[in-house]
Structure 1
């Protein structure tokens, strides 16, 4: 449609050997550390450079969220828990135009932030895209834009990994201007149609990697923001039988 920001279907390709390295890190990695940051770094530091090639085939909510994310000219966008800045790739043809005034990518994990900084340099996004290493729940994090100044805040597959997850939603609310939009996608539990055994299976399996599925995420978003879009679907995982699917959601809401 004429007058809309140009978007790209970001789908990086990897090799079987890349996948094996990621699977080794996921299945046999020893998550350790006293702080949440240390735990994340211990999990990602051996797979950060291969993160996108593997994860885009299991994080199914990212594409529909990025394809529907509201963008107006002069947009200020904050991507909380943005990892390697791969979400910016969906706007690779327009991020350096007047559609975006500034993009901030915030992540707590040094190895992922390092990949994000390399992505910015490789794509020559400097001046428009800024990588901030820090806690997405911290309203005083240095480098964040002022309260009430942002058009869009996105959080993709990070809420389930943040122990104090309500704080990141509060931080998003604080950053948004009235009429601004929050865009969130993540794994979830399907209250309407998912079997009880399936809920228990996925909840336990994800918890072994310090990922905590919670039905309250969606209901809390619906309470805090005016719902504009919600889809709940089921997605597969690489090298896992296709019958084993986990629910995920993509939510877009507006700050009232």
Structure 2
């Protein structure tokens, strides 16, 4: 599945990566809300799973200089853009959110902050990806998730059209995210809808 999904993502983003940051700012809403919540301490290790073009890591570096930054993505095409944007400010690696070894990839066993921004809607087994992220979260660390919401506070026609459009890009909003988080015994969590439930944000803290 890893090779198949990676090839699909490379196909999707081979050209889109060149205009990704310009176009996605109009509908990947709530990302900056998540970035404001991260607040990594001095010398913190921060990982973004599915880092894409490196946009979020670049923003974290601007807000919190001097932190140790890491990015993981299944698309080699997206990592080309991330490498060009971040240079030596972050360690980047090709890998699968389902199953990755941070020691082998980054020489770092755990992270103080992990970000998953608009990726669970594109990961087929997103529940396993969240569980894997929690496995690599340091005690007291935080996992921040932002993605499409259930649009329950928006008109039904908007919900239908959005989901039809997103389906063309292999994107599926995860309406059951709150219920899944409530089942996790490894971490306490908060969850809130954003922008009339267009987006959703969650933070899990590992005890």
Higher mean C-alpha displacement, 107-116 vs 206-215: 206-215
Counterpart residue number, 1:27: none
Aligned partners of 1:93, 1:213: CA distance in 2, in Å?
29
Counterpart residue number, 2:206: 255
Counterpart residue number, 1:60: 29
Aligned partners of 2:30, 2:181: CA distance in 1, in Å?
16
Q: 1:229 to 1:165 in 2, by over 3 A?
A: closer
| Alignment deviations for residues 49-88 of structure 1 (CA, whole Å, 9 cap, x no partner) | 2211111222111111101113111111110011011112
Larger Rg: 1
Higher mean C-alpha displacement, 174-183 vs 205-214: 205-214
* TM-score, length-scaled by structure 2: 0.87
For structure 1, the residue ranges without an aligned partner over 5 or more in a row are: 1-33, 235-245
Q: 1:197 Cα shift?
A: 4.8
Counterpart residue number, 1:130: 91
Residue 132 of structure 2 corresponds to residue 171 of structure 1: yes
> Contact (CA 8 Å) 2:58, 2:86: kept in 1 or not?
no
For structure 2, the residue ranges without an aligned partner over 5 or more in a row are: none
Q: 1:218 Cα shift?
A: 2.9
Find the residue that maps to 2:105 and give its secondary structure. coil
Aligned partners of 1:37, 1:138: CA distance in 2, in Å?
13
> Contact (CA 8 Å) 1:79, 1:155: kept in 2 or not?
yes
Find the residue that maps to 2:91 and give its secondary structure. strand
Name the structure with the higher helix share. 2
> How large is the RMSD of aligned CA atoms in angstroms?
2.2
Q: 1:139 to 1:93 in 2, by over 3 A?
A: closer
Report how many aligned residue pairs link the two structures: 202
Where does 1:1-256 land on structure 2 (aligned, <5 Å)? 35-93=4-62, 96-97=65-66, 100=67, 102-121=68-87, 126=88, 128-140=89-101, 142-144=104-106, 147=109, 149-191=110-152, 193-224=153-184, 225-228=187-190, 230-234=192-196, 247-256=198-207
| Alignment deviations for residues 82-133 of structure 1 (CA, whole Å, 9 cap, x no partner) | 1011112223335552xx1x21111111111001011122xxxx2x511111
Find the residue that maps to 1:91 and give its secondary structure. helix
